[in-house]
Amino acid sequence: MKRLLTFAFSLSLVVPVVACSNGQSVSPASTPAATAAATAKPTPDANNLQGKIVFGTHRTDIAETKIKALADEFMKANPGVQVTIESYKDWKQILKTRAAASELPDVTIALPEITKADLPKYYMPLDDLGYNKDNLWFYASGLGEDGKLYKVNSGAAYLGVVYSKTAFQAAGITKTPTTTEELFAAFQKLKDKGIIPLGTGFKDAFTLDPYFFQYTHVSTGNANWRNDLIAKAGDLFNTEFLKGFNLAREAYQKGFTEPDLMSANWEQTKKDLAAGKVGMMFMADWLVPQLIDLGAKSDAVGMFPHPESKAVYVGPDKPFVVSKNTKYPEASKAFVKFMLTNSRYAQASGVNSSIKGDKAVIPGVEELLLSKLPIIEDTAVDIKFQDTLNKSQINLSQVVQEYMLSKNTDDVVKKYNDKWQKARLEVLGK
């Protein structure tokens, strides 16, 4: 890196939709390294591709193995192109600095802080790759204010209840629950067999994230509800939003979670779920490969929609972008297309493809989708909602913790709704 500059973005709080833990982190390193949709254009002719490009990734765990293998495959098909892999542990800070210096890698992942209006300042349009709303999940979120496509999502994660088939079999549960009543009956059967029914990983807080935004997405069948709420100047902690909070709290009060919540942590909960000592966990599908890594058999882990859901929610992984300043735009765009075609990157990284119609890579997702519920995708959140949440300084993961343990939930709700409304007035002025 030639120089270090101060880089200021207009920051907005981005609450994780389906955050993914990617294993071991290492220091930044450099290592050389059937089409998904009928409407997508083919990769440009290999004979026309020339150049040396850099792919910058946050996936430090697979950069020198699986991603390098993808780059090698691409270079074999395109002998005029050399691809170098760079991996970053502190990827956000590194890419911010590189963006400020106009030194972004040719292909990398998008910085979430860059607004739609500013996308053209840093990235190149990708419209000629042939993607549109009909063949690409999260297409709209990749558009700039000028209507051009700048970001192409690298993967998709489905939200549901991840469960141990081993634990269910031991408890005599032969059918996944579809109602809250059936869910709590399953909890009781698991508890009677000495199995912790619902894992929370409470101490680490982020494991409770699915109980607020995502739970509301599926319980309402509307991923746009946050924009509706800010437009109507309503309370954030309303009846619908609190459904997930209430379910988690009731499960704890009835003894269906880890008995000592304050010592229940993510790593141990994962191990226990993989071993069948925990029955289920409300989480995105990226948890499944981690359970398999911990010893669970792929056919012993399943997924089902959270009971009484009106939809299945699919959230994005990190989006790919091409630097505006790349010297080799065609080679860079072809590499992006190559990674997404035939689920290459999805299979390498353990996520599902962002191309609509591609078969799910992660075990359990096909079972989840057998519900035939409509699939709703993450939608762009009004900046006024984000700014209000920022201004309020409300940490929603910690609010779920507080709510679950509170003896008087009305006081908790009032405290945070007051914070929300105060922040809303400061942001919107009305």
Q: Which of 297, 279, 281 is nearest to 289 (CA)?
A: 297
Element housing 319 (H / E): strand 319-322
Going by the DSSP 8-state scheme, the letter that residue 66 receives in this structure is: I
pLDDT tens, the chain, 430 aa long = 433 333 333 333 333 344 444 433 333 444 444 333 333 444 445 458 999 999 999 999 899 999 999 999 999 999 999 999 999 999 999 999 999 999 999 999 999 889 899 999 999 999 999 999 999 999 999 999 999 999 999 999 999 999 999 999 999 999 999 999 999 999 999 999 999 999 999 999 999 999 999 999 999 999 899 999 999 989 999 999 999 999 999 999 999 999 999 999 999 999 999 999 999 999 999 999 999 999 999 999 999 999 999 999 999 999 999 999 999 999 999 999 999 999 999 999 988 999 999 988 899 999 999 999 999 998 878 889 989 999 999 999 999 999 999 999 999 999 999 999 999 999 998 6
Helices (H), 350-407: 365-369, 383-392, 396-405
Q: Which residues contact 176 (CB under 8 A, 6 or more apart)?
A: 161, 163, 168, 302, 304
Q: Which of 400, 11, 409 is nearest to 213 (CA)?
A: 400
Structure tokens at 12: 């907005």
Cα atoms in the Cβ-side hemisphere of radius 13 Å centred on 157: 26
Q: Report DSSP letters for 264-318, one per residue.
A: --HHHHHHHHHTTSEEEEEEETTHHHHHHHTT--GGGEEEEPPTT-SSEEEEE-P
- Long-range CB contact pairs, 220-225, < 8 A, 24+: 220/310, 221/309, 221/310, 221/311, 221/374, 221/376, 222/376, 223/313, 223/376, 223/377, 223/378, 223/379, 224/379
Q: Which of 44, 54, 244 is nearest to 159 (CA)?
A: 244
Residue found by looking up tokens 């008087």 in the block: 408
Q: Which of 136, 100, 141 is nearest to 6 (CA)?
A: 100
Q: Please report, as a single letter, which amino acid is at residue 428.
A: L
Provide the pLDDT for residue 47.
Answer: 54
Q: Which residues contact 260 (CB under 8 A, 6 or more apart)?
A: none
Domains defined along the chain, listed by start: 29-155+317-350 (3.40.190.10), 158-314 (3.40.190.10)
Q: Which residues contact 218 (CB under 8 A, 6 or more apart)?
A: 159, 305, 306, 309, 310, 311, 312, 313, 376
For residues 202 and 257, what is the distance between their CA atoms, to the nearest angstrom? Answer: 9
Neighbours of 389 (CB within 10 A): 24
For residues 396 and 297, what is the distance between their CA atoms, to the nearest angstrom? Answer: 34
Structure tokens at 139: 């297409």
For residues 221 and 215, what is the distance between their CA atoms, to the nearest angstrom? Answer: 10
Going by the DSSP 8-state scheme, the letter that residue 110 receives in this structure is: -
Backbone angles phi, psi at 86, to 5 degrees: -115, 135
For residues 137 and 356, what is the distance between their CA atoms, to the nearest angstrom? Answer: 6
pTM: 0.79
